Amino acid sequence: MYSSSLGSGGESSGPTASTAVFDHVSRTGTWPASAWTGDYVGAGALGGGQGIGGYHQVAGRFTVTWSGDITPLIAGPLNDGPAITIRDYLIGTFAGLIAVAVVATMFMTAEYRRGLIRTTLAASPNRGRVLAAKAIVIGSAAFVAGLAAAAGAVIIGKDVAHSFSLFPEPWPTELRIIVGTAALVAVAAVLTLAIATMVRRSATAILIVIVLVVIPDVLSAPPGIPTGLTDWLLRITPAAAFALQQPAPQYYQVQANYIPSAGYYPLAPWTGFAVLCGWTALALVVAA
């Protein structure tokens, strides 16, 4: 209900009412013979719901009147939904990415520092083949390690946090987040390898990877960062791949806090991963 009076400037608002009619209602099983009854369910916050809605029965026809919004469950404490999601179990992905970046960098720069690159290229003069072989090895190793770490973190996290308010997720979503995290780590390792090939300095390569992959997602967490800036960074930088860890879809017909710090990203999960793949492919071409 909403009413206003333009002449007097008065205005009042209240809940809007909706009515549904049910007929051809039947029961099966061993129910006791009794009349239908009606009651208020989940109306505690509205003072028991008295005076807001009601139910009326005439000749097997039920008319139910009530007020409220029916929307999907939105994850995140800012949305009055469950505060914990599967993404929270994988918060250590940042530390894992930095560790993988160090290993991937040393996989190439150690050869330059010790002069072993000459031996490698003497055995296989095709530089593109050498780079591809190193990319396959470091990418495969990072994927296996990332998959084991992500699966372990989710299993342990769910066991520890079972008594808390957990956001219910279907198994395909959990599988996408776990496998997607492993793929994110693997492709980030290959990107690091390509950058290390170009700059040939371990510290410089690691710093570049942290700035490109880690920092944009970290900047989305603190309050005060303009939403437009974080959306822009999470669309065009390799950090867009963190969309793979988005635990719940965005319902654009529902107003909610769809912000990165709550686990929501501006790009779809696999679209964000494609951005990281594009950066990696470009880096490999330049490195070759």
Question: pLDDT tens-digit profile of 87-101?
Answer: 889 999 999 999 999
Least confident of 6-10, 229-233, 235-239: 6-10
Which residues, 6+ apart, have CB-to-CB distance to 14 below 8 Å? 1, 2
For residue 16, is it left (φ>0), alpha (ψ between -120 and 50) or beta? Answer: beta
**In this structure, is the dihedral angle defined by the CA atoms of residues 216, 222, 228 and 229, taken in order, positive or negative?**
negative
Tokens (6 digits) for 213 = 């992959």
**In this structure, is the dihedral angle defined by the CA atoms of residues 162, 164, 168 and 170, taken in order, positive or negative?**
negative
How would residue 276 be classed by pLDDT, with cut points 50, 70 and 90? very high
What pLDDT does 254 receive?
81
What pLDDT does 16 receive?
61
Mean pLDDT of all residues belonging to the chain: 84
Burial environment of residue 206 by CB neighbours within 10 A (0 to 12, 13 to 18, 19 or more): buried
If you average pLDDT over residues 226-247, what whole number do you get?
A: 91
Least confident of 116-130, 227-241, 261-275: 116-130
Selected residue with higher pLDDT from 69 and 214: 214
Cβ atoms of residues 241 and 275 within 8 Å: yes
Rounded distance between C-alpha atoms, residue 101 and residue 187, angstroms: 11
Rounded distance between C-alpha atoms, residue 84 and residue 82, angstroms: 6
What pLDDT does 223 receive?
67
What pLDDT does 117 receive?
80
